[in-house]
Amino acid sequence: MVDERAQRIAEFIAPLRVEPGRKVKLHKDFDPRLHSSTVSRKKEGREILQTGIALLADYQARLAAQDTYGVLLCLQALDAGGKDGTIRHVMSGVNPQGVHVSGFTVPSAEELDHDYLWRYAARLPARGDIGIFNRSHYEEVLVVRVHPELLDRQKLPPESRKRIWHRRYREINDWERYLTDNGFRVLKVFLNLSYDEQRRRFLRRIDEPDRNWKFSAADVRERRRWKDYQKAFSEMLSRTSTPWAPWYVVPADRKWFARICTAAILAHTLIEIDPRFPTVDADTRAQLAAARAELMAQAPASANGRTTHRPTAAAGAGRA
Ligand code: ATP
Ligand code: MG
């Protein structure tokens, strides 16, 4: 049953995965409007998402209990791509103690005084945790690439600017490999929005007063650079989808579908890790049995009838 579910999830996300080494042309290769033939309606999608959320909650509890692996989900998108809503929905069922969301905006003076990966390294998840980067170290080859003046603020020594993008892709790949080798799985989701859907979402943010706060004049300014961003995204996907940390391009024009895909990608990774609740050794089991006997002996006379049905120490040990 679990294997069958795992298989279905793996098949569902396979077309979204960018094969390492593949040369991506975003506008040709990935359709933002796409949704699967197996999940074509929003209502059906909602049910699947609920199942996915329950599955994530279960796996996250085990990931935390095992305390060996950590998971980092990097979310990238153009403005209005739906990062916030995706995080809110996908993580709605998991224990908030085990999830840490970090958003990244324009770097501070302190951050600019360090190497460019410094601020991202400081927000990595601990073992047992799921970390979510709402924007991530990939901004360093996206917005910074589209606006080279941002690079000037990074105080790089002149020799570090040679072949800088080529080098940054390599450094990011190496960093993610290092994390993976040390028990931290890195997965990367690009919410792929179409030009026209972005226009509609911006208009909604302008026209609906409750959404006004989400809109900034900078958003339309960035939109004018659409083609440059598409190029930067394409190159990022081509250069940094690796066997250890693949990119997934999620069609984002339908929010409900983007959420199902993201939940499935996260679930797939957790299923692969297959975290287990720790079991206890014989010594600990003996201690549990002794503690149980002591607690049982303290039961008030009226509670005896109820406590006799409790599980044995051995059965209870597995859940301790
Ligand atoms: P929303 O999609 O809801 O608007 P957001 O992620 O765009 O949320 P904002 O605070 O509006 O959040 O914008 C963050 C800004 O920070 C973006 O314009 C992004 O390009 C910029 N930014 C992120 N990382 C860097 C970086 N390393 N260098 C320069 N700018 C960056
Ligand atoms: Mg913004």
Q: Are 176 and 20 in contact (CB under 8 A)?
A: no
Contact 150 CB / ligand 1 (< 6 Å): yes
pLDDT above 90: residue 295: yes
221: alpha, beta or left? (left if phi > 0; alpha if psi -120 to 50) = alpha
d(CA 107, CA 190): 21
Residue 252, C-beta contacts closer than 8 angstroms, at least 6 positions apart: 32, 77, 81, 82, 191, 192, 193, 197, 258
Structural domains in the chain, CATH included, are: 2-273 (3.40.50.300), 283-319 (no CATH)
Q: Which SS3 state, helix, strand or coil, does residue 185 take?
A: strand
Please report the pLDDT score of residue 317 as a whole number: 45
Residue 304: what pLDDT? 57
- Which letter does DSSP use for residue 298 in this model? T
User: In the structure encoding, which two tokens stand for residue 23, read together?
Assistant: 């040369």
- Is the CB–ligand 1 distance for residue 296 below 6 Å? no
Q: Is the pLDDT of residue 57 over 90?
A: yes
CA separation for the pair 269, 144 (Å, rounded): 30
More confident residue, 1 or 291: 291
Pocket test for ligand 1, best of 111, 123, 143, 229 (most atoms within 8 A of CB): 143
The answer to whether 60 and 270 are in contact (CB under 8 A) is: yes
Residue 116 has pLDDT above 90, yes or no: yes
Indicate whether 256 pLDDT > 60: yes
Cα distance between residue 204 and residue 198, in whole Å: 10
Residue range 220-254, pLDDT digits in tens: 999 999 999 999 999 999 999 999 999 999 999 99
CA 86 from centroid of its chain's CA atoms? 10
Q: What per-residue confidence (pLDDT) applies to 316? A: 45
Q: Nearest-CA neighbor of 5 among 72, 59, 82?
A: 59
Measure 126 CA to ligand 2 centroid, in angstroms.
Answer: 28
Find out whether 292 and 286 touch, Cβ atoms under 8 Å: no
Cα(225) to centroid of ligand 1, in Å?
15
pLDDT of residue 305: 54
By the 8 A CB rule, do 72 and 133 touch? Answer: yes
**pLDDT in the model for residue 196:** 98
Is the per-residue pLDDT at 271 higher than 60? yes
Measured distance CA(309)–CA(131) in Å, rounded: 41
Q: Give pLDDT tens digits for 186-205.
A: 999 999 999 999 999 999 99
Residue whose CB lies within 8 A of the most ligand 1 atoms, among 110, 123, 133, 135, for a mutation test: 135
Q: Is the pLDDT of residue 76 over 50?
A: yes
Q: What residues have CB less than 8 Å from 232, skipping those under 6 apart?
A: 141, 142, 145, 146
pLDDT, residue 10, reads 92
**CA-to-CA separations, 148 to 143, 145, 217, in angstroms, rounded:** 8, 5, 20
List the Cα angle 155/159/160 in 5-degree steps. 55
Q: Evaluate if residue 38 carries a pLDDT over 80.
A: no
Average pLDDT, rounded, for the chain: 92
- Model pLDDT, residue 315: 47
Q: Model-level pTM? A: 0.90
C-alpha triplet 131, 132, 133: angle, nearest 5°: 120
Kindly tell me the number of DSSP H helices and DSSP E strands found in the chain: 16, 5
What is the length of the chain?
320
Long-range contacts, 105-110 (Cβ 8 Å, 24+) = 105/135, 107/153
| Residues with CB in 5 Å of ion ligand 2 | 79
**CA 84–ligand 2 middle distance (angstroms):** 11
Confidence of residue 37 (pLDDT cuts 50, 70, 90): low
